[in-house]
Amino acid sequence: MTIRNVYLDCEFLPSDMATTGLISIGLTDDQGVDFYAVNRDMDMLAVESVPWMVDNVLPYLPVEQSRPGEFELLHYHEDVHPIDRIRDRVAAYFADTDAAVTHLYAYYGGQDICRLHSLWENNWGDMPEAIPRWFFDLKAFAVQLGSPELPAQDDGEHHALADARHNRRVHQFLRQRLTALRELNGGLPPVMTAAQTREADR
């Protein structure tokens, strides 16, 4: 059975679960096929009001600063699309595969998959069949493997596509670690102790 691994990251306003709270979405797969979009319909005033967003997310968006503290999203930029266009393109991205199964991965990804599903108002009946309903959390995978130090992200942290690509790198690292641990344990998967679990939760 062929499996396509897709890696997801979203930038978003935590206080706004509607599509106006989606800032950007990045997807990449194990073949390096990318998708990236900035939401033209985001609540820009709300984004501007959060200093962390201004410092960490806005620098990666196609914006112009009109005056101190005020930013204008460049609607003509090739990455900027209305939410209905993003919805259609995301659906096409997931549908464009010959694989039998798509596995979705994210890091601390509960919010990310909610934002993905919010493109269809979290209505699974309206959501295309190709859109994954569940995901593998890379954080959970890391905890199960003893919480190793993960590869550092070189640049682009909080740029949705750069983060999605880094998720792919983290998954590759964890798969290599799992293989090494299985060899050490005679082919059996590693088992975490209770102390290791508590430490990983800190």
The span from the CA of 104 to the CA of 161, in Å, is 15
- Is the pLDDT at 51 greater than 90, yes or no? yes
Greatest alpha-carbon span in the chain: 63
* pLDDT over threshold 50, residue 194: no
Mean pLDDT of 134-162: 95
Residue 200 has pLDDT above 60, yes or no: no
The string of pLDDT tens digits covering residues 151-181 is 999 889 999 999 999 999 999 999 999 988 8
Is residue 60 predicted with pLDDT exceeding 80?
yes
Question: Strand runs (DSSP E) across the chain, as ranges?
Answer: 3-12, 22-29, 34-39, 63-67, 70-73, 80-81, 101-106, 136-137
- Give the least confident one: 133-147, 150-164, 183-197: 183-197
Q: Where are the domains of the chain?
A: 3-200
Whether pLDDT at 26 is above 70: yes
Q: Which fold has domain 3-200?
A: Nucleotidyltransferase; domain 5 (3.30.420)
